[in-house]
Amino acid sequence: MLTIHMTIKNALTKYSKLLKENNTPSPNLDAEVILFYVLKKPKEYLYTYPEKNLTTKQLNDLTTLIKRRTKGEPVAYLTNHKEFFGLDFYVDERVLIPRPETEELVEEVIKVVSNKGSVISNQSLTICDIGTGSGCIAIALAKNLPNIKLIATDISKDALTVAKKNARQLKVYDRIKFLHGNLLEPIKNMKLDIIVANLPYLTKQEALKHEPNLALVASNKGLSLYNELFHQIKKYKFPNAVVIIEFAPHQRIGLSKYIKRLYPQGEINIKKDLAKRYRILKITL
């Protein structure tokens, strides 16, 4: 049998070039991340031992993953890792890959909780994360707010399986109650202080090929799920709760109008993300 030898350095050069030829947006970084994932070593290893040969298995694994990357599969699905809020999350095709913008949503919730002048200032607050996906929001909150009670819901049982796996790995499983169902339906009789959500808000045309449609797409210009969420909030009544959601910049006016109609007295606050695009809406009911 013919054995092919390839050093780390040559593999990096060869596969960065291949990714570049296939128009992958960050070919060098992607080749690096995939390679150190295959080697099960930290990134520095690649540059400390550039002349080390890959084993046949490593080379096979590498070529398989690079091939998948050339077809557009996100690196996070290939390596099953994504960092969010300084924590390492397991991800696969069952969940949306956590986005950096969503870290700002988490920061906003932490701000509301720690704001002494806020309408909610006692210690035993309950926060619900609707459409938890990988669990990234609820878990980041559990890690950063030790006295808070947390509930996380999702309509996808597959997503809940991933979220629970992450909660176990990150050692907050006993802090979060995971519930299956449509938006607030599984928790309609509970008292909630903060409702946080990053629900699907893209149109079918905007959706990305490799991530689950259930995690991305909503009808009515991407607004149907937020409209339904606020409708449920009104119906199930959560007096004085604060609702904090992430949305697409172009939805700002439509979303605000809809919420204003349901809550004419509610104080709506809209924030931009780090890229200076309208992204986060907060309302005190």
* Cβ-based nearer residue to ligand SAM, 37 or 178: 178
Asked if 76 interacts with ligand SAM (CB under 6 A), we say no
Secondary structure element (H or E) that encloses residue 280, with its range: strand 278-284
Least distance from C-beta 211 to ligand SAM, angstroms?
A: 9
Q: Which of 153, 243, 255, 278 binds ligand SAM (CB under 6 A)?
A: 153
CB of residue 74 to ligand SAM, shortest distance in Å: 13
Cβ-based nearer residue to ligand SAM, 53 or 224: 224
Distance in angstroms (rounded) separating the CA atoms of residues 23 and 232: 44
Maximum Cα–Cα distance for the chain, whole Å? 76
Q: Which of 271, 240, 264, 229 is nearest to 107 (CA)?
A: 271
> Considering the rule CB under 6 A, would residue 183 count as an interface residue with ligand SAM?
yes
137 is an interface residue for ligand SAM by CB under 6 A: yes
Whole-angstrom distance, CA of residue 272 vs CA of residue 203: 21
Are the CB atoms for 231 and 277 separated by under 8 Å?
no
- Given candidates 90, 131, 150, 242, which one binds ligand SAM under the rule CB under 6 A? 131
Binding-site residue total for ligand SAM (CB under 6 A)? 25
Question: CA dihedral in degrees (119, 124, 125, 130; nearest 10)?
Answer: 180
- Taking CB under 6 A as the binding criterion, the range among 4-12, 96-104, 118-126, 143-151 that sits at the site for ligand SAM is 96-104
User: Least Å distance between CB 196 and ligand SAM?
Assistant: 9
Only one residue has tokens 């007096």, namely 239
Binding status of residue 217 toward ligand SAM by CB under 6 A: no
Alpha-carbon distance 276 to 204, whole Å?
25
CB of 268 to ligand SAM, least distance (A): 21
Q: How far apart are CB 157 and ligand SAM at their closest, in Å?
A: 9
Residue 14 beta carbon to ligand SAM: minimum distance, rounded to whole angstroms: 34
Q: How far, in whole angstroms, is CA 55 from its chain's centroid?
A: 34
Range in contact with ligand SAM (rule: CB under 6 A) among 7-15, 41-49, 211-219, 258-266:
211-219
Residues 3-32 that bind ligand SAM (CB under 6 A): none
The answer to whether 142 touches 148, Cβ cutoff 8 Å, is yes
- What residues are paired with 195 via a beta bridge? 128, 243
Question: Residue 214 is inside which H or E element, if any?
Answer: helix 213-216
Which residues does residue 151 pair with via DSSP β-bridges, in sequence order? 128, 177
Binding site for ligand SAM (CB under 6 A): 95-96, 98, 102, 130-134, 136-137, 153-156, 159, 182-183, 198-200, 214-216, 225
